[in-house]
Structure 1
């Protein structure tokens, strides 16, 4: 009976992906939990820092640690389009919709992910851009596809060119055997909302423990007022915008009128 119970618990852990109880724990924080976006905002870099805390249950032969940090921005539905040259002009010929994918996605590690964990562990833990789940609408189906899929590759490439998707395998620095830090670059095009950070600790290819933290990007000043008006009073905002456009056009006609 004891063997059956232990076997059932092991199978449940493998199926659910729950990290078993361990002797280490992660203590993490970010340099700023609230990033404000103003009219002259051009990007910023936060610092994630933390430490690995051990206790008397930590195995004496525990080897060096590895860390994989994944930062995910607010989720949205995005579309990638394929263009082809037809009759001398470039037109959209096909498209693929990505459903509830991170608007910002960064994966940082202290060394190459292939050296941290085996391929099956990478897929199960979604380590790296090639293993992160990016659900697509394919006809009437919803699924992620292989990393070499042309639409998926183009989507990741375009987001990477704008600094919104990135992967760096030497971005996490261990200052001591247990103290670490990494920078989180935020380009000017970041989306407003909550950014989730997941930190996973590995040793000898196995996941030891993980921790989570987050930070918010918010608008302040006039931009925040406009955003709140558009979100909470859509009809009034639309009418005022149309009225302002009409007034601007009328004033331009008066100023540049030729008598």
Structure 2
């Protein structure tokens, strides 16, 4: 019995050592992206390397890499419309709770070739496997990828460039050096973005790390956003005054004598 326990412990330690046989070193080209009034989007570059040590199996084959970029989380709603009496009306809706406002998943080859379906679900690899919690009546749950509300939500975000998946975006420059671009559209949400990097070999996760970058507004837009957040009452008064002044000036310009 003792011998069996020792054997199990040795196997667990060996597996742990093997899992730590590689280390990921990564960075992004810009950790702070500033959004100005004429901002039209840009692309960051994530680059890094795989560091091996003495515990790396000598027969280790080629590596696979999956990069997941998640923007700030928020509650969002997807509505289903129906045509009634010649007009479109909201028929039903589904609320998504604390989901990423931006979500991009990049890999060096199709994810189904990188890991098994079970590993994909457990590690949330690919848009179909990322948890998007919904409020379904009194319950909270993630549903199957082909749920119509989930599919519509992902499609709408993808049309604006805010959700994306690219199975050829990660490029291995050498067997251990890699890079990928992170495209940011013009309407990219403001906030902190997390970047999770997972390294696979022969279908198994062997190393992972993460980094982050921030998107912030600067100039007049930042002043307005800060004022609205910190001094809501004053912001409301100023907005109402500006609306009144605009209406008064328009009445003077376009009035008929």
Band the TM-score falls in, shorter-chain normalisation:
over 0.9
Deviation at 1:180, TM superposition (A): 0.1
Contact 1:136–1:143, Cα closer than 8 Å, also in 2: yes
Deviation at 1:2, TM superposition (A): 7.5
Counterpart secondary structure, 2:128 = coil
Change (3 A) 1:253 1:147: same
Deviation at 1:36, TM superposition (A): 0.5
Change (3 A) 1:2 1:227: farther
Mapping 1:173-212, distance limit 5 Å? 173-212=171-210
Change (3 A) 1:43 1:2: farther
Corresponding residue to 2:136 among 135, 138, 146: 138
TM value normalised by structure 2: 0.94
What is the aligned partner in structure 2 of residue 70 from structure 1? 68
What is the aligned partner in structure 2 of residue 150 from structure 1? 148
Corresponding residue to 1:39 among 37, 40, 62: 37
What is the aligned partner in structure 2 of residue 24 from structure 1? 22
Q: Distance in 1 between matches of 2:82 and 2:44?
A: 40
Corresponding residue to 2:244 among 243, 246, 259: 246
Number of paired residues?
253
Change (3 A) 1:252 1:5: farther
TM value normalised by structure 1: 0.93
Counterpart secondary structure, 1:115 = helix
Mapping 1:45-56, distance limit 5 Å? 45-56=43-54
Counterpart secondary structure, 2:129 = coil
Corresponding residue to 1:104 among 78, 102, 105: 102
**Residues 246-255 or 117-126, more deviating:** 246-255
Mapping 1:74-93, distance limit 5 Å? 74-93=72-91
Change (3 A) 1:153 1:32: same
Counterpart secondary structure, 1:130 = helix
Over 4 Å off, 4+ runs: 1-11, 18-21
Contact 1:19–1:208, Cα closer than 8 Å, also in 2: no
Stretches of structure 2 that go unaligned for 5 or more consecutive residues are none
What is the aligned partner in structure 1 of residue 234 from structure 2? 236
Deviation at 1:254, TM superposition (A): 1.8
Q: Distance in 1 between matches of 2:18 and 2:78?
A: 39
Report the aligned-residue RMSD: 1.9
Q: Distance in 1 between matches of 2:233 and 2:57?
A: 63
Change (3 A) 1:21 1:202: closer
Contact 1:195–1:214, Cα closer than 8 Å, also in 2: yes
Q: Distance in 1 between matches of 2:155 and 2:62?
A: 33
